[in-house]
Amino acid sequence: MTRSTSEILEPEVTTTTPTIPVAKDKDPRGFFKTALSRFFKRKLNVVALVVFGFIAIISAIAPILTSTFIGTTPAYFRASFSPAYAPPGTTETLRTGANVVHWLGTDELGRDTLTRLLHAGGASLSIGFLVAIIIVLIGVPVGLLSGFFGGWVDDFFNAIIQIINNIPGLYLFIILAGIFRPDILFLSLIFGLLSWTQTARQVRGLTLTMRNREFVTASIAVGARYPRILVQHLLPNIVSILVVLVGADIALAMLGEAALSFLGFGIRDPDVSWGKLLANSSNYLTYSGNHNPFLIIGPGMMIFITILSIYLIADGLRDAFDPALRK
């Protein structure tokens, strides 16, 4: 018992002594450069960055890659079914497992799985990043304003956040997507408009804790205008948290897009995303002819690896920006 007592008490002593920034510790290279060098010191961060970069690059140059190495053109990958691009045959014979020509096999229309996987990355990633941009553009100003001014501004935004948070999101997504049949941009817009609330709340909380700090009072005292205080004094202080939030936003948007596309309400033909590639895949399961497990494993693995690396990068950046947060 005594051992566990000391164990419980000890970390408290170490964690509650804050690392006070002393002037001589200040790195002459500046805030961002020190943070970046701290980021690259951890191997896991570098690995995650390399993996993510690799996926982003192969997704970006997918048309070139596939036409040079696999011999499949964009027209081929986009074709829903055309005898010109696929060998004649029925669904049973067209779907094949991995072989020398098709490294990851083909789907029920004879389309090469690897080609489609590479092409799908673009849509998935761009939706993730577009949504994150929209969330930051709405969530950060809303959070800053309602945290800084409080009162009716806070109440007003809070009411909107309450409405959005109380609707079961996926239902509204599906209804909106089912009715308006959106393209990638519009889809990201819907996603962004319905999911900025978490970020706004976090930013609001952070702003609230900083509003009464000396540097804010001082800037008010010297007559700084509100926009200046918000943008120049408060914003830099929330960057480290914002990085993690953006990482989570990208990941959640990609997961949401995958779910929506899987249900048939997200990305539409002839575009593909990783989630879209999984749509109808439960039909393959009971099927007794040629099997191609990569049709299910492939897109999911891509989603998993991409999101995992995004989480790790965001976490690493947070630690690098704000070492005091590391526990």
Partner 1 sequence: MRRFIIRRAIQSVLLLLAISFIGFMIVHLAPGGPEVKFMMDPRMTPQDIYNIREHYGLNDPLPVQYGKWLLNASHLDLGVSYESLYPVTDEIMRALPNTLILITAGMVLGLLGIPIGIFIALRRGRFTDNLVRVLTVAGSAIPSWWLGLLILLGTSNLAISTGIKILPLPGYNAAETNNPWYFVWQLVLPSILIALAGWLTYSRITRTQVLDILSQDYIRTAHSKGLNQQDINQHHILKNALIPIITTFGAQLPLLIGGSIIFEEIFSLPGIGKLTIDSLTRSDFPVAIGVLMFVSLVSVGALFICDILYALVDPRVRY
Would you say 147 or 299 has its CB closer to partner 1? 299
> Which of 35, 176, 229, 230 touches partner 1 (CB under 8 A)?
176
Q: Is 165 in the site for partner 1 (CB under 8 A)?
A: yes
Is-contact 274 93, C-beta < 8 A?
no
Of 108, 91, 121, the closest CA to residue 281 belongs to: 108
Hey, how many other C-beta atoms are within 10 angstroms of the C-beta on 258? 26
Q: Is 286 in the site for partner 1 (CB under 8 A)?
A: yes
Q: Is 49 in the site for partner 1 (CB under 8 A)?
A: no
Q: Is 278 in the site for partner 1 (CB under 8 A)?
A: yes
Question: How many CA atoms are closer than 13 Å to the CA of 309, on its beta-carbon side?
Answer: 18
Q: Is 8 in the site for partner 1 (CB under 8 A)?
A: yes
DSSP assignment of 261-304 equals HHTTSSS-TT---HHHHHTTGGGGTS--SS--THHHHHHHHHHH
Is-contact 279 261, C-beta < 8 A?
yes
> Which of 84, 100, 179, 221 touches partner 1 (CB under 8 A)?
179
> Which of 97, 141, 255, 322 touches partner 1 (CB under 8 A)?
255
Q: Is 17 in the site for partner 1 (CB under 8 A)?
A: no
Q: Is 168 in the site for partner 1 (CB under 8 A)?
A: yes
- Part of the chain binding partner 1 (CB under 8 A), chosen from 53-61, 114-122, 173-181, 209-217: 173-181
Would you say 19 or 166 has its CB closer to partner 1? 166
Using CA atoms, how far residue 281 sits from 108, 159, 289, 291, in Å, is 10, 40, 14, 12
Q: What is the per-residue burial (b if ≥16 Cβ within 10 Å, else e) of 191-219?
A: bbebbbbbbbbbbbebbeebeeeeebeeb
Q: Which residues in 124-163 contact partner 1 (CB under 8 A)?
A: 162-163
Residue with tokens 């570098």: 46
Spatial separation of the C-alpha atoms in residues 274 and 126, rounded to whole Å: 12
Nearest distance from C-beta of residue 287 to partner 1, angstroms:
9
Spatial separation of the C-alpha atoms in residues 103 and 98, rounded to whole Å: 5
Would you say 192 or 299 has its CB closer to partner 1? 299
- Part of the chain binding partner 1 (CB under 8 A), chosen from 50-58, 135-143, 176-184, 224-232: 176-184
3-state secondary structure of 82: coil
Residues that bind partner 1 (CB under 8 A): 1, 4-5, 8-9, 11-12, 15-16, 162-163, 165-172, 174-176, 178-180, 251, 255, 258-259, 262-265, 278, 281-283, 285-286, 288, 291, 293, 296-297, 299-300, 303-304, 307-308, 311-312, 315
